[in-house]
Amino acid sequence: MTALPPGSTIGILGGGQLGRMIAVAAAQLGYRTHVLAPDAESVAAQTASSFTRADYHSRIVLDEMAASCDVVTYEFENIALDPVEYLAGKVPVHPAPAALGIAQDRALEKQFVDDLGGRTAPWRKVTSREELADALAAIGAPAILKTLRLGYDGKGQVRLASAQEADAAWEAIGGRPAILEGHVAFDHEFSILLVRGADGAMTSYPPPKNEHADGILARTTLPAPGEIAAQWTEAAALAGRIADRLGYVGVLACEFFVGRDGPVFNEMAPRVHNSGHWTIEGAVTSQFENHVRAICGLPLGDTALTAPRVEMENLIGEAAHLWAEILAEPGAHLHLYGKRAARPGRKMGHVTRIAPIIS
């Protein structure tokens, strides 16, 4: 792929904060961005060069997008596959739709990783109440029942302390196709943020420790504790095999638990990721810039830390009202996403705290 020159247009499917931060990074490199999203108010559109408010399935809109964009990317993995595949027939789309197809189906995703020699929690696909009973007999409890599709931030999943809770769990997920996963006892969670260029070059960021609250990422911290650092090489190697097998171009996020015998793969997101927001100030090149570099065929940027200690805290709901206090803190970088209503559980922004380099 020849590099897209500055002035080229990047299409972004999805109108949320990830698209917003991709658009900012693209603008810095001299690219234009065009956002397509159905939302009346898109926080990505606020920072993009242009915006089409439309359904993803309109062929007229997709044809226009293909004609006006030099490359297209997406910022959320629950977008329907069909419009992405349609676009890919007309304009380069990165990451390739195949990555999206796998990430959208938890069973395909786990099988894909198992086949690549990755370590996953014991799991079984479950499409009926009877299969749930069989899976529980095979895997045991405690376990987690996760819907095959459309789960994120802990949504679409139920924990089972014992097999007696099977009826309630099956009802709670609405009897939808799912996987049952054995509970992994872990002390830490971390993620590998890998970027693969159009020429196959790859690099990954130092892995942060991720802490969740109510199923939503609350905080990422670097450097991560030794238990995570010890599993970085193996986890990054798996992420690299995933990216190579998919011919992946762009940023790929893979989430892991620190297992007793090595990193346990939980899930992947074929996009920039919340656990990489710290890279805007905390790494030499941000995940957003590296995503843009990759999809535009440019050389990848350095992923090294810029400070001895970096912490990213999500501002969920009313926590964003603390903006004035945060701005008064030395070393704090505030990011607000331009959303109007601070509803509970809604990601309104984040703050990255950088420890000063003491010489």
> In this complex, which beta carbon is closest to ligand AMP, that of residue 32 or of residue 124?
124
HEC-encoded secondary structure of the chain? CCCCCCCCEEEEECCCHHHHHHHHHHHHCCCEEEEEECCCCCCCCCCCCEEEECCCCCHHHHHHHHHHCCEEEECCCCCCHHHHHHHHCCCCECCCHHHHHHHCCHHHHHHHHHHCCCCECCEEEECCHHHHHHHHHHHCCCEEEEECCCCCCCCCEEEECCHHHHHHHHHHCCCCCEEEEECCCCCCEEEEEEEECCCCCEEECCCCEEEEECCEEEEEEECCCHHHHCCHHHHHHHHHHHHHHHCCCEEEEEEEEECCCCEEEEEEECCCCHHHCCHHHHECCCHHHHHHHHHCCCCCCCCCECCCCEEEEEEEHHHHHHHHHHHCCCCEEEEECCCCCCCCCCEEEEEEEECCCCC
> In this complex, which beta carbon is closest to ligand AMP, that of residue 30 or of residue 215?
215
Task: Provide, rounded to whole angstroms, the least separation between the CB of residue 122 and ligand AMP.
Answer: 9
d(CA 192, CA 164): 36
Given the rule CB under 6 A, which of 27-35, 66-74, 149-157, 222-230 is the region that contacts ligand AMP? 149-157
Q: Rule CB under 6 A: choose which of 80, 91, 125, 154 binds ligand AMP.
A: 154
Q: Rule CB under 6 A: choose which of 14, 15, 83, 151 binds ligand AMP.
A: 151
> In this complex, which beta carbon is closest to ligand AMP, that of residue 158 or of residue 334?
158
312 is a contact residue toward ligand AMP (CB under 6 A): no
Site mask for ligand AMP (CB under 6 A), range 181-210, x = bound: x-xx----x---------------------
Strand order of the sheet with strand 157-160? 123-126, 178-182, 143-147, 157-160
The amino acid sitting at 326 is: I
Task: Provide, rounded to whole angstroms, the least separation between the CB of residue 181 and ligand AMP.
Answer: 4
Total residues interacting with ligand AMP, rule: CB under 6 A = 14
> In this complex, which beta carbon is closest to ligand AMP, that of residue 264 or of residue 294?
264
Residue list 235-294, contact with ligand AMP (CB under 6 A): 255, 266-267
> In this complex, which beta carbon is closest to ligand AMP, that of residue 181 or of residue 313?
181
Residue list 69-108, contact with ligand AMP (CB under 6 A): none
Given the rule CB under 6 A, which of 46-54, 60-68, 124-132, 151-159 is the region that contacts ligand AMP? 151-159
Closest to 141 in 3D by CA, of 163, 168, 167: 163
Given the rule CB under 6 A, which of 178-186, 233-241, 295-303, 316-324 is the region that contacts ligand AMP? 178-186
Residue number of the CB atom closest to ligand AMP: 184
Given the rule CB under 6 A, which of 43-51, 55-63, 91-99, 179-187 is the region that contacts ligand AMP? 179-187
Site mask for ligand AMP (CB under 6 A), range 205-244, x = bound: -------x--x-----------------------------
Tokens 């959208």 sit on residue: 104
Q: Does a cis peptide bond (omega within 30 degrees of 0) precede residue 95? A: yes
Task: Provide, rounded to whole angstroms, the least separation between the CB of residue 247 and ligand AMP.
Answer: 25
Task: Provide, rounded to whole angstroms, the least separation between the CB of residue 121 and ligand AMP.
Answer: 4
> In this complex, which beta carbon is closest to ligand AMP, that of residue 24 or of residue 144?
144
Site residues for ligand AMP per CB under 6 A: 121, 144, 151, 154, 157, 181, 183-184, 189, 212, 215, 255, 266-267
